[in-house]
Amino acid sequence: MSDEAIRPLEEQICFALYSASRSVTGRYRELLAPLGVTYPQYLVLLILWETGTSTVRQLGDRLELDSGTLSPLVKRLQVLGLVTRTRSTLDERVVEISLTPAGSAMSSEAPRIAEQICASTGFGPVDLAGLQQQIATLATQVRQFA
């Protein structure tokens, strides 16, 4: 471990995460294609299905994404007719994102998609929850280093 040799790619945690993340989002790509949305767009919809309305700031806090990523992404959701963007009347700096009826209706697809993803992992629900918890802990830990 304190060995000076460079460990091969496949044995490093970073590559495992990088590779797994890409394969999972690739699986989502297939499942979401019929709905016409991408994986990050789907994450935004997941939040809105939960909260009804969110500001760009709140979306960024949950997803750990900045406005440079979210702003054009949300505009594409607007073009698709899934969300509306309105300036807050109380604080005109704030843009509130809300679901349209079409965006709301799409939530009915979510359980089926989540189920298919779980099935694709080949892990049981208990193992999956444990793994998810460990990965989340690691992410939090690394983020605190910044």
Interface contacts to a second copy, rule CB under 8 A: 1, 4-28, 30, 39, 43, 46-47, 49-50, 62-64, 107, 110-111, 114, 117-118, 120-123, 125, 128-129, 131-132, 134-139, 141-143, 145-146
**Of 70-109, which residues contact DNA (CB under 7 A)?**
70-74, 76, 85, 90-96
> Could you give the CA distance from residue 103 to residue 19 in angstroms, rounded to a whole number?
31
Interface with DNA, residue 64, by CB under 7 A: yes
Task: Report how many residues bind DNA under the rule CB under 7 A.
Answer: 33
Interface with DNA, residue 27, by CB under 7 A: no
Single out the residue of 50, 66, 115, 127 in contact with DNA (rule: CB under 7 A). Answer: 66
> Could you give the CA distance from residue 50 to residue 62 in angstroms, rounded to a whole number?
12
Contact indicator for 133, 52 with CB cutoff of 8 Å: no
Distance, first Cα to last Cα, the chain:
24
> Could you give the CA distance from residue 134 to residue 128 in angstroms, rounded to a whole number?
10
> Could you give the CA distance from residue 58 to residue 62 in angstroms, rounded to a whole number?
6
Interface with DNA, residue 139, by CB under 7 A: no
> Cβ 89 to a second copy, closest distance in Å?
28
Interface with DNA, residue 113, by CB under 7 A: no
Which sign, positive or negative, has the C-alpha torsion 69, 45, 64, 90?
positive
Strand ranges (E), the chain: 53-55, 83-87, 95-99
> Is the Cβ of residue 56 or residue 106 nearer to DNA in the bound state?
56
Given DNA, a second copy, none, residue 34, with its beta carbon under 5 to 8 Å by kind, binds none
> Could you give the CA distance from residue 63 to residue 59 in angstroms, rounded to a whole number?
6
List contacts with DNA (CB under 7 A): 18, 22, 25-26, 29, 38-41, 55-57, 60, 64-74, 76, 85, 90-96
